[in-house]
Amino acid sequence: MIAFARLPHPAPTTADARAAVLANPGFGTNFTDHMVTIDWTEAAGWHNARIGPRGPIALDPAASVLHYAQEIFEGLKAYQQPDGGLALFRPEANAARFNASAARLAMPALPEETFVESIRLLVDADRDWVPAMDGASLYLRPFMIATEAFLGVRPAKAYSYIVIASPAGNYFKSGAPAVSIWVSDYTRAAPGGTGAAKCGGNYAASLVPQAEAIERGHDQVVFLDAAEHKWIEELGGMNLYFVFADGTLLTPALTGTILPGITRDSLLTLAREEGLTVQEGRYSIDQWRDDAASGKLVETFACGTAAVVTPVGKVTGRNGAFTVGTGGPGQLTQKLKARLVGIQRGEVADTHGWMTRI
């Protein structure tokens, strides 16, 4: 495996300043002292791997990421464990998805063991930055950008892979009881597009729909399919699950327009262990409304690394609004969340080998 150089930090954050950040970490606004960088060129492949002080990066103004958005990213977390150690949740799954995204964006693959090692090194270097309070973690953000200075439209011939880390509190402040969502007229992903890749461009295109949801007084936006505008796909950055009174759990199938969430995949496994019938399939917005009204559908929740599991309480679209179940967090939603969070925090046995100790 590639060897990482260690660049000394001239002035790391003082213990007092760090403690002040960790007392109220928020999400995505505070960062640790270090970062990992690895460069790629056609001639040298991956080289110049290093971990050093976090700081601004120099880019040529013609760097292709700035013009054609050749960029991919990942998101995963390190959690405090009961014995005082630290652990990552399924980092090899993020490594595999990173390369699937890279392939779709015509970027070079990064060896999975190099991806995982880069995360381990950064968490180890910044281990004092992992908040211990309930629901808190160290959020890791690996990403890759095209750095070649060239304005033609073709895959770049130079890239940088970078990992930064950010202490995170609860994503939804005070673990909000249930979110209200707006059914967007915009679409997030089209068949044959980049919906299954974790690329920044998808998020750029979702900002207007998300802003519209907020303007209308909702928390999140839900996207329907691009072809028929009928089938439920996902939220801006989270996958969806529907819970039925007969003990069935349904999540939209991975058809190419849905991001294959690692939380989604983990919950498929945990739900089967709970004895639920789990289905991956299609579910229409009209059926959702009818089933919520008849009581056939009892819960809906969204899931993703940042917020883990978030109950959906209310759904509003052009054709009116409806409430899901009680409008608050459902029983199964809470049970599955507790199991998953328990595994991540080392309080529930990790029977699937999901946790990687640092």
Ligand X SMILES: *Cc1c(COP(=O)(O)O)cnc(C)c1O
- The contact set with ligand X (CB under 6 A) reads 75, 198, 234, 237-239, 259, 261-264, 304-305
Closest contact distance (angstroms) between CB of 123 and ligand X is 17
Closest contact distance (angstroms) between CB of 189 and ligand X is 8
Of the pair 127, 141, the CB lying nearest ligand X is at 141
Burial (Cβ within 10 Å: 0-12, 13-18, ≥19) of residue 58: exposed
Helices within the chain (DSSP H only) = 15-23, 65-68, 91-104, 112-125, 200-215, 262-273, 285-294, 331-344
Of the pair 86, 303, the CB lying nearest ligand X is at 303
Helix (H, G, I), strand (E, B) or coil at 223: strand
Phi first, then psi: give them for residue 32, nearest 5 degrees. -80, -175
**Residue in 202, 194, 274, 199 with CA at minimum distance from that of residue 241:** 274
Closest contact distance (angstroms) between CB of 7 and ligand X is 30
Closest contact distance (angstroms) between CB of 301 and ligand X is 12
Length of the chain in terms of residues written? 358
Of the pair 238, 276, the CB lying nearest ligand X is at 238
Of the pair 13, 137, the CB lying nearest ligand X is at 137
Closest contact distance (angstroms) between CB of 310 and ligand X is 11
Of the pair 137, 239, the CB lying nearest ligand X is at 239
Whether 340 and 261 have beta carbons less than 8 Å apart is answered as: no
**Residue in 161, 183, 206 with CA at minimum distance from that of residue 35:** 161
Closest contact distance (angstroms) between CB of 41 and ligand X is 28
Distance from C-alpha of 232 to C-alpha of 221, rounded to nearest angstrom:
11
Whether 270 and 339 have beta carbons less than 8 Å apart is answered as: yes
Of the pair 13, 99, the CB lying nearest ligand X is at 99
Distance from C-alpha of 133 to C-alpha of 169, rounded to nearest angstrom:
8
Q: Can you spell out the DSSP letters for 150-198?
A: --SSS--SEEEEEEEEEEE--SSGGG-S-EEEEE-SS-S--TTSSTTS-
Of the pair 18, 188, the CB lying nearest ligand X is at 188
Question: Could you count the other beta carbons within 10 Å of the beta carbon of residue 286?
Answer: 10
Which residues have a Cβ under 8 Å from the Cβ of 1 and sit 6 or more positions away? 111, 113, 114, 117
Closest contact distance (angstroms) between CB of 333 and ligand X is 15
Of the pair 63, 306, the CB lying nearest ligand X is at 306
Closest contact distance (angstroms) between CB of 124 and ligand X is 22
